[in-house]
Structure 1
Amino acid sequence: MFKYFLGAVFFMLTGFCAITQAQDTVVRKKADTTVVAPPKKVDDAGQRFVPKLKKEKVYHPDSTHIPSLAVKRSLIIPGWGQWYNRRGAWWKIPAIYAGLGALGYSIVESQKNYKMFLALYRIRNTGVVPTLPGQPYYAEYKKYEAEYNLYSRSPISSLQEAASNYQRNFQISILSVVAVWGVQAVEAYIEAKFINSFTVDNDLSMKVTPGFINQSTYAMANVSNAYIPGIKITFTLK
Structure 2
Amino acid sequence: MVKNNLLYIVFLITISLFAQKDSLVINREIKVVIKDTIKANAYDPLAPSRAAFYSAALPGLGQAYNKKYWKIPVIYAGMAAGVYFYIKNDKEYTRFRNAYKRRLAGFTDDEFFGDGTTALISNDRLIDAQKTSQTNKDVSIIVSLAFYLLNVIDANVDAHLRQYDVDDNLSLSPQFNLDEINSQAQYGLSFKYIIK
TM class, shorter-length: 0.5 to 0.7
CA distance in 1, matches of 2:77, 2:114: 36
**Are 1:125 and 2:91 counterparts?**
no
Q: Describe the SS at the equivalent of 2:158.
A: helix
Q: Deviations over 1:29-79 (max 9, x none)?
A: xxxxxxxxxxxxxxxxxxxxxxxxxxxxxxx65524711110011001111
State the match for 2:132 in structure 1: 165
Q: Describe the SS at the equivalent of 2:59.
A: coil
Q: Describe the SS at the equivalent of 1:90.
A: coil
Counterpart amino acid of 1:119?
Answer: N
CA distance in 1, matches of 2:191, 2:47: 29
Q: Describe the SS at the equivalent of 2:135.
A: helix
The structure having more radius of gyration, on CA atoms, is: 1
Q: Which residue, 57, 63, 71 being the options, matches 2:43?
A: 63
Q: Is the Cα–Cα contact under 8 Å of residues 73 and 81 in structure 1 kept in the other structure?
A: yes
Flag the 1:235–1:78 CA change in 2: closer, same or farther, 3 A.
farther
Report % sequence identity: 27
Task: Give the CA RMSD over aligned residues.
Answer: 3.5
Deviation of 1:204 after TM superposition, in Å, equals 5.6
CA distance in 1, matches of 2:103, 2:60: 47
CA distance in 2, matches of 1:187, 1:115: 36
State the match for 1:96 in structure 2: 75
Flag the 1:237–1:74 CA change in 2: closer, same or farther, 3 A.
farther
**Structure 1 regions of 5+ residues with no counterpart?**
1-59, 131-140, 214-225, 228-233
State the match for 2:7 in structure 1: none
CA distance in 2, matches of 1:105, 1:171: 13
Counterpart amino acid of 2:98?
Answer: A
**Structure 2 regions of 5+ residues with no counterpart?**
1-39, 179-183
TM-score, length of structure 2 as denominator length: 0.60
CA distance in 1, matches of 2:49, 2:134: 37
Q: Deviations over 1:74-131 (max 9, x none)?
A: 0011111000001xx23211111111111110110111111111121222234x117x
Deviation of 1:184 after TM superposition, in Å, equals 1.1
Count of aligned pairs: 144
TM-score, length of structure 1 as denominator length: 0.51
State the match for 1:200 in structure 2: 166
Counterpart amino acid of 1:101?
Answer: A
**Are 1:109 and 2:76 counterparts?**
no
State the match for 1:156 in structure 2: 123
Q: Deviations over 1:137-163 (max 9, x none)?
A: xxxx7xxx4455489411211111111
CA distance in 2, matches of 1:206, 1:148: 73
Flag the 1:75–1:235 CA change in 2: closer, same or farther, 3 A.
farther
Deviation of 1:169 after TM superposition, in Å, equals 0.8
